[in-house]
Amino acid sequence: MNKKIEAICGNSKLNPDFDAIGNNPNFVFQNDPLYQTLTLYDQANNSINVNSWLECANYVNGGWSTVNFGFINYEQYLTFILVGISFIVVLTQNLKGQKNQN
């Protein structure tokens, strides 16, 4: 079994055929009341709650993880950096202008 699946979903004796599951648009995962619900995230920060080991393994096999990529807001950091650089450029230009006047 895939180590990532075991680490995220736990151990199971099932050996699923992920291709068959993915190729069947009518496949329905059965809820397992003994399985603790997990929230998984993809790279686009979409989330899904999985309620069985098979469902969890299927999504983890497809690249989903327990890591929420949404907590890192790169756009916000970029905005702060650009505002900071702009402030430094304007301040430097004003200081050069004042120095040239003297």
Token match 């699923």: residue? 16
End-to-end CA distance of the chain, in Å?
75
| Domain limits for position 65 | 1-71
> Are residues 89 and 99 part of one domain?
yes
> Are residues 100 and 58 part of one domain?
no
> Are residues 93 and 49 part of one domain?
no
**Percent of the chain clearing pLDDT 90 (strictly above):** 60
* Phi and psi at residue 55, to the nearest 5°: -65, -45
Q: What is the rounded distance in angstroms from the CA atom of residue 29 to the CA atom of residue 11?
A: 18
What's the pTM? 0.66
Which tens digit of pLDDT belongs to each residue from 26-69? 999 999 999 999 999 998 889 999 999 999 999 999 999 998 87
> Are residues 61 and 25 part of one domain?
yes
Q: Which two tokens stand for residue 54?
A: 């098979």
> Are residues 66 and 56 part of one domain?
yes
Beta-bridge partners for 39 = 49
